[in-house]
Homo-oligomer: A and B are copies of this chain.
Amino acid sequence: MGLTDEQRGEIAAERGESRSTRRVTVPALEEILYEALPVLDHGFVRVVDYMGDDGAVVQAARVSYGRGTRRVSEDRGLINYLMRHRHTTPFEMCEIKYHVKLPIFVARQWIRHRTANVNEYSARYSILDNEFYIPAPEHLAAQASTNRQGRGAVLEGEAARHVLGLLRDDAERAYADYSEMLNVDEAGAPRDPSWPGLARELARMNLSLNFYTQWYWKTNLHNLMHFLSLRADAHAQYEIRAYAEAMLGTLERWVPMTHAAFLEYRMNAATISAAGLRVIRRLLAGEAVDRQSSGLSPREWRELMAVIGRDA
């Protein structure tokens, strides 16, 4: 993950402290608090703060004076009901804050989720580290032939070696020239003391999109689930999905009832169009239905058949 000893020390110091609070706590999440969960070759996600738990969702839905929780089964039933009927506001009452280290091209997708708070490391103000993403061999894939924004077969042999070489060489050259323009050596000291180097806000433009940046990212539970529903989805680009999957694990620790409802009613659910529902009704009535008579496009037909477990 490329943590320096100093960074590891700071994290350990934070993990070592224990304070007393009247607030709700979640022991399973406290266990991994501040810990850097590795993602990709140099990235990580770490939970640095949180507010609320499953009970806070229940409390808000009931606008109650105390914890608002009753029996576990009632709370679970209420959370399932809220998720099923898209009553989203009670889930907004919980908040979580992550520290994330991620390649810039991933950050560019991620930032499109507007309903979050973000503080990014500034390359106008500071010098970026020499860390860039190179795909692991099993993630180096050719362009898909059927889907303009997807991946096809994994590259192998010479083709793979050649691509990896280009990516690595170009990133290394970009960083070497970035340092030269900034007039700093590897230790961050001036190379030529007679001039200050190019302005950092200009030099940064020489870095490529696989360089790592980092940010604090804070969002509420509802918006986090919206993010995960898009980014942990099979259609998301692998590199951002890797982050979303690590975050799904933190969701399960934090709010286990909400996590279960999210899987049941969102991630593993399917939305079926009006025409799709008509197909299902006809099939259940024993009719033979084919694509032509369904009114569905070929792609919609394939998707529907997959959802209901039939061959297209």
Residues of A near any B CB (own CB < 8 A): 3, 6-7, 10-11, 13-15, 17-25, 30, 33-34, 49-52, 56, 59-61, 63-67, 77, 80, 84-86, 89-90, 92-93, 95, 97, 99, 103-105, 108, 111-112, 114-115, 117-122, 124-126, 133, 135, 140-145, 148-152, 155, 159, 163, 166-167, 170-171, 173-174, 177, 180-182, 195-202, 204-210, 214-216, 218, 220, 230, 235, 237, 263-265, 268-277, 280-281, 283-285, 297, 300, 307-310
**Bound-complex Cα distance A104 to B66 (A):** 23
**Bound-complex Cα distance A214 to B65 (A):** 10
Whether B22 contacts A21 by the Cβ 8 Å rule is: no
User: Closest CB of chain B to A65's CB: distance in Å?
Assistant: 4
Q: A63-B214, A263-B274, A270-B272 are in contact. List 13 more A-B contacts (CB 8 A).
A: A49-B51, A89-B112, A93-B97, A93-B117, A108-B108, A111-B111, A143-B197, A150-B201, A166-B177, A206-B208, A209-B209, A269-B271, A269-B276
Residue on B nearest A111 in the bound complex, by CB: B111
Q: Please, which residues of chain B bring their CB within 8 A of the CB of A283? A: 284
Whether B23 contacts A33 by the Cβ 8 Å rule is: yes
Residue on B nearest A263 in the bound complex, by CB: B274
Q: SS class of chain A's interface: helix, strand, loop or mixed? A: mixed
Q: Please, which residues of chain B bring their CB within 8 A of the CB of A97? A: 51-52, 93
User: Closest CB of chain B to A49's CB: distance in Å?
Assistant: 5
Q: Please, which residues of chain B bring their CB within 8 A of the CB of A24? A: 19, 49
Please pick, from B95, B108, B181, the residue contacting A163 in the complex, using a CB distance under 8 A. B181
Whether B300 contacts A142 by the Cβ 8 Å rule is: no
Q: Please, which residues of chain B bring their CB within 8 A of the CB of A142? A: 195-199
Please pick, from B95, B124, B180, the residue contacting A218 in the complex, using a CB distance under 8 A. B95
Whether A149 contacts B22 by the Cβ 8 Å rule is: no
User: Closest CB of chain B to A111's CB: distance in Å?
Assistant: 6
Q: Please, which residues of chain B bring their CB within 8 A of the CB of A202? A: 135, 140-141, 151
Q: Please, which residues of chain B bring their CB within 8 A of the CB of A265? A: 271, 273-274
Which of A21, A66, A90, A99 is most buried by chain B, counting CB atoms within 10 A of its CB? A21
User: Closest CB of chain B to A308's CB: distance in Å?
Assistant: 6
Whether A25 contacts B19 by the Cβ 8 Å rule is: yes
Q: Please, which residues of chain B bring their CB within 8 A of the CB of A111? A: 108, 111-112
